[in-house]
């Protein structure tokens, strides 16, 4: 049967009653109950015995003073404007089998009572401030909610809406931070751009090959530069702008020693992007959350638990070295791939899986990749190496070829990634899913 499938890390002290963070990688299925109910809803601790009707958009009442359902305040600040954000909240997109639920209907089907935070880039000077009706109403929602959820879109727009030019909290962000710091049952999180916004410093734009080619050298941008979030050092019509990336202050709910990335292997392989961003930011631990996947992070217990259909890929560069090269290289990185039900302690850097350990290798050969940053290639090489006779797989990252300028030069190298199983590596298999722990990865 085929199987489908600081070098010392410091965690900033969290308040004893700090809330939790729920990271989703984007590209979710509207009907994934493991993601929304078993993961996010259960974590609130409210109305635990109720089983939502996935076909109903009226599971919960709208009166937050009386509903027993978890109260979720939905933030669409990542959208182009208040009008676009309100439309994403209130209305479904498409029809029939291709219908994508608007955020109100999405959360109703999973047993939440949703309300809308109105702050966006075209109104943040009032809607993210106090002392006016709209701003005061948003702050009140944050103070009453069990969950504040940041929708996907453009993460720089979230930063612009919620933070001051200096990167300090707006009054709305300050209310959210106070709520998070003083309620163990409170959850803040988001999908895609909303996930990125949880970082102390966000990285964005570009692709893995570009991050490696340009040597893990990102452009650090301010909040006021949000309209061109990318590496603008060669201008907006340049290879560096298209394929390299930039950083910007985030909302800083994740512990400062962790960097999260999204759409991790389903859209395109982002392992190279995460490695390079970690090196640039002088960090050594990263979470790559894939599509249709959620990760519940508890800063008090310092654990992360995986939900949904895809993997969490954990990068650990604490023992890595960086050979000199014209492009970014790394030796002795450790990468783990975790799936639903697995958990990870990011203080001790240990993974736990209930799946049976692999003791007999299923595959007799190896599985190399000619395009390691194509969709699902990184995940495939990570899982195959724990379940094959050969102890390593090779992945090649060729320079992307574009039909028009800007183009990579003919001298742009093929970058090689080596995935190795050694004495510290473990593999698990069960329920149609793999777990791969501490695979060694070298970028050569």
Q: Which two tokens stand for residue 248?
A: 């910007």
Q: Please report, rounded to a whole number, the percentage of residues in the chain having pLDDT higher than 70.
A: 96
DSSP code for 256: T
Burial level of 363, CB count in 10 A (0-12/13-18/19+)? Answer: middle
Across the chain, mean pLDDT equals 95
Give the Å distances, CA to CA, from 53 to 29, 109, 180: 16, 6, 29
pLDDT band at 2 (very low <50, low <70, confident <90, very high): very low
Bridge partners (DSSP) of residue 71 are: 113
Q: What is the pLDDT of residue 98?
A: 81
Q: Please report, rounded to a whole number, the percentage of residues in the chain having pLDDT higher than 90.
A: 94
Element (H, E) at 332: strand 330-338
pLDDT band at 94 (very low <50, low <70, confident <90, very high): confident
User: Is the model's pLDDT at 6 over the cut of 60?
Assistant: no
> Is the model more confident about 378 or about 10?
378
Q: What is the pLDDT of residue 9?
A: 37
Torsion angles phi and psi, residue 383, rounded to 5:
-80, -35
Q: What is the pLDDT of residue 15?
A: 60
Average pLDDT over residues 331-343: 98
User: Is the model's pLDDT at 14 over the cut of 90?
Assistant: no
Closest CA to 261 of 283, 290, 233: 290
Average pLDDT over residues 420-440: 98
Domain limits, the chain: 16-195, 255-444
Residue with tokens 């990870």: 344
User: Is the model's pLDDT at 16 over the cut of 90?
Assistant: no
Q: Which two tokens stand for residue 254?
A: 């994740």
pLDDT band at 28 (very low <50, low <70, confident <90, very high): very high
Spatial CB neighbours of 14, under 8 Å, sequence gap ≥ 6? 255, 299, 300
Q: Where are the beta strands (DSSP E) in 170-324?
A: 187-191, 201-204, 219-220, 246-249, 259-261, 285-289, 293-298, 303-308, 312-316
pLDDT band at 267 (very low <50, low <70, confident <90, very high): confident
Closest CA to 292 of 312, 274, 275, 272: 312
Closest CA to 169 of 157, 183, 159: 159
Torsion angles phi and psi, residue 283, rounded to 5:
-115, 165
User: Is the model's pLDDT at 306 over the cut of 90?
Assistant: yes
CA neighbours closer than 13 Å in the CB half-sphere of residue 143: 10
CA neighbours closer than 13 Å in the CB half-sphere of residue 328: 25
Query: What would be the CATH architecture of the domain defined by 16-195?
Result: 3-Layer(aba) Sandwich (3.40)
Q: What is the pLDDT of residue 12?
A: 44
* Percent helix / strand / coil, the chain, rounded to 5: 25, 25, 50
Q: What is the pLDDT of residue 5?
A: 40
Q: Which two tokens stand for residue 299?
A: 């800063």
Q: Which two tokens stand for residue 170?
A: 């707006």
Do 333 and 442 contact (CB within 8 A), yes or no?
yes
Average pLDDT over residues 429-444: 97
User: Is the model's pLDDT at 11 over the cut of 80?
Assistant: no
């Amino acid at each position: 049967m085929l199987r489908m499938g600081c070098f010392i890390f410091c965690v900033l002290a969290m308040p004893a009653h700090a809330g939790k963070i729920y990271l989703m990688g984007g590209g979710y299925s509207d009907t994934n109950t493991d993601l929304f109910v078993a993961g996010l809803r259960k974590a609130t601790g409210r109305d635990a015995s109720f089983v939502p009707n996935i076909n109903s958009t009226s599971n919960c009442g709208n009166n937050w003073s009386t509903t027993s359902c978890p109260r979720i305040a939905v933030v669409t600040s990542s959208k182009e404007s208040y009008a676009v954000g309100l439309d994403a909240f209130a209305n479904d997109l498409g029809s029939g089998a291709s219908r994508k639920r608007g955020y109100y209907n999405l959360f109703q089907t999973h047993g939440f009572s949703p309300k809308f935070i109105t702050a966006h880039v075209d109104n943040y000077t009032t809607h993210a401030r106090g002392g006016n009706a709209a701003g005061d109403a948003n702050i009140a929602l944050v103070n009453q909610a069990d969950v504040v959820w940041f929708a996907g879109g453009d993460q720089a727009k979230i930063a612009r809406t919620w933070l001051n030019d200096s990167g300090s909290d707006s009054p709305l962000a300050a209310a959210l931070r106070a709520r998070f710091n003083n309620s163990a049952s409170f959850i803040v999180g988001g999908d895609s751009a909303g996930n990125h916004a949880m970082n102390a410093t966000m990285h964005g734009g570009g692709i893995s090959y570009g991050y490696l080619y340009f040597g893990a050298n990102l452009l650090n941008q301010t909040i006021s530069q949000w309209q061109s979030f990318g590496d603008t050092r060669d201008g907006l019509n340049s290879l560096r702008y298209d394929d390299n990336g930039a950083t910007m202050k985030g909302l800083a709910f994740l512990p400062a020693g962790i960097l999260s990335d999204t759409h991790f292997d389903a859209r395109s392989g982002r392992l190279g992007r995460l490695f390079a961003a970690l090196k640039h930011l002088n960090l050594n631990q990263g979470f790559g959350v894939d599509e249709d996947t959620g990760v519940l992070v508890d800063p008090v217990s310092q654990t992360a638990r995986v939900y949904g259909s895809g993997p969490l890929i954990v990068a650990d560069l604490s023992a890595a070295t960086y050979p000199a090269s014209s492009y970014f290289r790394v030796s002795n990185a450790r990468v783990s791939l975790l799936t639903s039900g697995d958990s990870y302690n990011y203080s001790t850097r240990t993974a736990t899986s209930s799946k049976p350990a692999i003791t007999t290798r299923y595959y007799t050969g190896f599985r190399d990749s000619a395009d390691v940053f194509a969709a699902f290639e990184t995940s495939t090489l990570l899982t195959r190496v724990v379940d094959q006779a050969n102890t390593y797989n090779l992945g090649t990252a060729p320079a992307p070829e574009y039909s028009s300028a800007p183009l990579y030069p003919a001298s742009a190298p093929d970058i090689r990634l080596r995935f190795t199983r050694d004495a510290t590596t473990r593999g698990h298999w069960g329920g149609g899913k793999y777990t791969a722990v501490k695979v060694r990865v070298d970028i050569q």
